[in-house]
C-alpha cells in the first residue's frame, strides 16, 4: 500500500545550522516521484524539491537537498544554513506512475520545523 | 505567469447547506487536483480532473463532487455539509506527467457551524 511516514512531529534548529527532516515511503510501483513541500502558517503549499525513482543523483535546489536512499525507501530533506523564514510545516509526498496515478499525491503527516535565532 | 487561484478564500456555512469552491489553474496546466486538510486526518486527496474528466478519486463520500471546464478551471461541490467538513481545501495544478510537481493555490478555509 502507498504510504508516507514522517516520524518527527516537530523539530528545532538553530539559525544558520543544517537540519534533516526524515521521510520514509512504501510503494510497490517501480516508477514514482517524491516531493517535498513547505507550508507556512498562511496555509499555501510551496514546492521545494523533487526526486524521481530512477534518478541516480540526489536532487538539490539551492539550500535544499534530498538524501535519497532507494533500498531503504527513504527520502530525507536536508536544509542547509537554516533561516528564520524556514519555520513552517514540511510535508513529504509521493506520486506513483502505475495506472496513470496522475495527480494523486500521498502526503505524510508533516514535520513542524522551528528555527531559533 | 499567474499562480493557482482559489475562490473564495474563506467560507462559513451551516450544517446541511451546500458549497461550491472554485480553482483556476496555472495557464497550460490541464490537471487539477483537490485535497482536504484537517488537523486530525492531515492532507487527503479528494479527486483529480484532467481534460474535463475525473481521472482519480480518493475515499470520500458522494457528497463531494467536482467538475472541470474546457478552460481547465475546476469547481468542487460539497452537499449536505457536516461539521467534519470544516477544513482547508487546497487545489493544485500540474502538467500531465507523474513526475511533474503540483503547484498549489492558497486554499479555501471552510467552516461549518
Q: For each of chain A's 117 residues, which pLDDT tens digit applies?
A: 789 999 999 999 999 999 999 999 999 888 899 999 999 998 889 999 999 999 989 999 999 999 999 999 999 999 999 999 999 999 999 998 765 556 789 999 999 999 999
A15 CA: distance to closest CA in chain B (Å): 27
Cross-chain CB nearest to B43 (options A91, A96, A103): A91
Contact B98 A101 (CB under 8 A): yes
Using an 8 Å Cβ cutoff, are B42 and A106 in contact? no
Q: Which of these, A65, A66, A86, lies nearest to A15 by C-alpha position?
A: A86
Tell which phi-psi region holds residue B79, choosing left (phi > 0), alpha (psi between -120 and 50) or beta.
Answer: beta
Task: Please report the residues numbered 32 through 91 in chain B whose beta carbons come closer than 8 angstroms to any beta carbon of chain A.
Answer: 32-33, 35, 42-45, 48, 50, 55-56, 58, 88, 90
Grid coordinates representing B107 are: 486554499
Using an 8 Å Cβ cutoff, are A50 and A34 in contact? yes
**pLDDT reported for residue B71:** 94
Task: Give the pLDDT confidence of B40-73 residue by residue, as tens digits.
Answer: 999 999 999 999 999 889 999 999 999 999 999 9
Amino acid at each position: 500500500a502507498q504510504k508516507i511516514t514522517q516520524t518527527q512531529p516537530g523539530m528545532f534548529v538553530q539559525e544558520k545550522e543544517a537540519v534533516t527532516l526524515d521521510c520514509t515511503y512504501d510503494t510497490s510501483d517501480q516508477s514514482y516521484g517524491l516531493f517535498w513541500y513547505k507550508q507556512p502558517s498562511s496555509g499555501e503549499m510551496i514546492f521545494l524539491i523533487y526526486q524521481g525513482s530512477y534518478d541516480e543523483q540526489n536532487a538539490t535546489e539551492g539550500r535544499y537537498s534530498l538524501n535519497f536512499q532507494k533500498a531503504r525507501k527513504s527520502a530525507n530533506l536536508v536544509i542547509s544554513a537554516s533561516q528564520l523564514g524556514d519555520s513552517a510545516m514540511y510535508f513529504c509526498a509521493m506520486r506513483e506512475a502505475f495506472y496513470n496515478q496522475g495527480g494523486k499525491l500521498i502526503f505524510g503527516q508533516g514535520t513542524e520545523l522551528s528555527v531559533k535565532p | 505567469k499567474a499562480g493557482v487561484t482559489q475562490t473564495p478564500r474563506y467560507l462559513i456555512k451551516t450544517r446541511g447547506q451546500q458549497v461550491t469552491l472554485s480553482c483556476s489553474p496555472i495557464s497550460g496546466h490541464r490537471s487539477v487536483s483537490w485535497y482536504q486538510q484537517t488537523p486530525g486526518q492531515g492532507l487527503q486527496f479528494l479527486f483529480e480532473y484532467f481534460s474535463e474528466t475525473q481521472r482519480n478519486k480518493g475515499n470520500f463520500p458522494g457528497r463531494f463532487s467536482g467538475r472541470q471546464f474546457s478552460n481547465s478551471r475546476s469547481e468542487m461541490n460539497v452537499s449536505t455539509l457536516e461539521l467534519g467538513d470544516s477544513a482547508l481545501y487546497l487545489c493544485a495544478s500540474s502538467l500531465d506527467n507523474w513526475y511533474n510537481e503540483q503547484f498549489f493555490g492558497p486554499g479555501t478555509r471552510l467552516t461549518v457551524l
